[in-house]
Amino acid sequence: MSHIDRRTFMQTNGLLTAGLLASHISPLFAAPAGTTKTVRLGVIGVGGRGRLLLSTLMGVENIDVKALCDIDKNALAAASAIVTTAGRQKPDDYSDGDNAYQKLLERDDLDAVIIATPWKWHTPMAVAAMNAGITVGVEVPAALSIEECWLLVNTSEKTGIPCMMLENWSFRQDNLAVLNMIRQGLLGTIVHCHCAHSHDCIDHWFFDRNTGKDLWPAEYLLKYNRDQYPTHSVGPVYSWMDIGCGDYLDTITSTATGSFGINDMFVSRFGPDHPGAKRQYAQGDIVTSVIKTKKGKTIVVNYDMQLPRPYDNRWMVQGTRGIYSESRNAVYLSNVSPGYHEWEPFAPYQKAYDHPWWQQKYSGGHGGTDFLELKLFVESIRNGTPPPLDVYDSVLMSCLVPLSGQSIAADGAPVKFPDFTRGKWLTRKPSFALDNRIFTLPGAKPLINQNKVNGSNRALSK
C-alpha cells in the first residue's frame, strides 16, 4: 500500500484503533522481515541538536531525507549541506514563519518526521504529524503539561500513528546491560531507584557564555519552578522497574531549593551590574522528587542543571538481592559477589550481559547512542512494528515536568499521576529491549537464575 493511500485511508476510516495501538500490534503495514525498503524522512528543527541528529541519520541505511524545516535559513543551509556532503539529494526547504512545518506535513512522500525544535513546539508538531498520518520521533521532553500529554496519547490512539520520544539514555550500553541483569533476576525484586540529571548547563544552554544573552530555554527558568528535564534521569529506570507494564507511578512529591546559582553565575562571570545578575528566577537550583509506585516501590529523581559540577546521572537500582551503582561503576550481588558486602567492578557484568543492540560499535552523538535509537526508530517504520518507546512511555517520562511543578507549588504535597494507559498497565507485558539469550556470569560462574519469563523482574533462585 503506498504512503498516500495509507494516509488517506487512515484519515477517512480511522484505520488503526486504540486497541491495536495498546496491544503493540501494527499488522496492516508490516513489511517482510529484513526488508530494505527506503524510509522517507523530514526533519523539523535543524539547530544544533537537529543537525547532530541529521548527521547521525546519514549513517543509517536506506533512508531518504526529503525535507527540512527551520525558521533560521542559515541553519537550513547548514543542514542541507550535511545531506549533500553525504552524497544525497538536496532536501526541500521550509522556512516561511513559525507554521512552515505545516506545509512540510502536507507532503505525501514522508513516512516519518524527526522533531528537534524548542520545547513548546514538540507537542503541537507531533500532533499535527500524527494527524497527517506521519510517524513521529520527537526530542525530549515530548510534552510540558498534562493536557499536552493527553493530547499526544489521544491523537496516537485515534490515528494509530506511533509517537516515540527520542530518549537516548534508555539505549545506553551500560543501562541495557543492567536491564538484562535485572530481567535475569540477579538483583532480585527491584525495590528502589535513584537517578539525576546533574549537568551544569547554565552558561551555554540557558544563557550565552560570552554575553549572558538569554537563549530560548531561559524563559523556563524565569517562569517555572519544577524538574525541567527529567527524561534522561528516568528513562532507564522505568524499564528497570517495569513501569507501565505491571506497575505504574502513583504519586510524586517534589521540593526545590531557592534560586542562588543563576544570579551568582552572572555576578562572577559578568559582574553585579549585568541585568541577569539582578533578575529574579522562579527555578530553584536543585529539585528533588520522590515517586511512589502502585506496588510500593520508590524512585528519587534530582534536577541539577544550574550549579558548577561535572556531568553525572547517579543511577542506582536496589533490589532484594543486589544493587547497581552507576557512580561507583560497581555492583554487589548477595548470592554472587565475593566477600561480605563488598562492591565488585561492573565492567565484567556489562560484558557478560551486553545487549545484542551493542554487539557492534556505533559512531555519532553520545557515544553512538543517538545512532542506535535512530536506527531502531527507522527500522520500526520500515518493518511496520512498534517503536522501541511508545507514546505511553513518552508521556510518562515527560509528565514529571508539570507534576513536579504542581507539588512544589503545593509545598511538597503529593500529586497523583494520571493513568495515561487507562488501566492497560495492569496487563501490558514488557516489550522494550527484550533479550532471551542464555547468559553466563563473569568468571565462568554458573548461571544460577533459571526463572526468567518474558522480561519480568523475577527473584534469583539458588
In angstroms, the Cα distances linking 134 to 15, 111, 162, 210 are 13, 6, 8, 40
Contact 155, 125 (CB under 8 A): no
HSE toward the beta carbon, residue 149, CA cutoff 13 A: 21
Q: What is the pLDDT at residue 323?
A: 98
Write the pLDDT tens digit of every residue in 81-102.
999 999 999 999 999 999 999 9
For the chain, how are helix, strand and coil distributed in percent, rounded to 5?
35, 20, 45
Residue 104 one-letter amino acid: L
- Looking at residues 270-282, what average pLDDT do you find? 97
Determine phi and psi for 300, rounding to 5 degrees.
-105, 130
Cell of 282: 522562579
- Looking at residues 113-120, what average pLDDT do you find? 98
Residue 387 one-letter amino acid: P
| % of the chain surpassing 70 pLDDT | 89
Give domain limits for the chain.
3-169, 172-358+391-444
Confidence bin at 242 (pLDDT 50/70/90): very high
Cell of 425: 498497565
**Four-way CATH pick for 3-169: 3.40.50.720, 1.20.1440.80, 3.30.1510.10, 3.30.390.30:** 3.40.50.720
- The string of DSSP letters for 285-328 reads SEEEEEEEETTS-EEEEEEE-SSS---B---EEEETTEEEETTT
Q: How far apart are CA 305 and CA 430, in angstroms?
A: 32
Q: How far apart are CA 330 and CA 336, in angstroms?
A: 13
How is residue 356 annotated by DSSP? Answer: G
Q: How far apart are CA 59 and CA 18, in angstroms?
A: 34
Q: What is the pLDDT at residue 364?
A: 80
- The string of DSSP letters for 160-216 reads ---EEE--GGGG-HHHHHHHHHHHTTTT-SEEEEEEEEE---IIIIIB-TTT-PBPT
Q: What is the pLDDT at residue 443?
A: 80
Q: How far apart are CA 45 and CA 115, in angstroms?
A: 6
Does CATH number 3.30.360.10 belong to domain 172-358+391-444? yes
Query: What's the whole-model pTM score?
Result: 0.91
Write the pLDDT tens digit of every residue in 29-85.
344 556 789 999 999 999 999 999 999 999 999 999 999 999 999 999 999 999 999
Q: What is the pLDDT at residue 23?
A: 41
Determine phi and psi for 45, rounding to 5 degrees.
95, 100
Contact 164, 114 (CB under 8 A): no
Range with the lowest mean pLDDT among 260-269, 397-406, 436-445? 436-445
Closest CA to 60 of 370, 286, 280: 370
Q: How far apart are CA 352 and CA 440, in angstroms?
A: 7
68: enclosing H helix or E strand:
strand 63-69
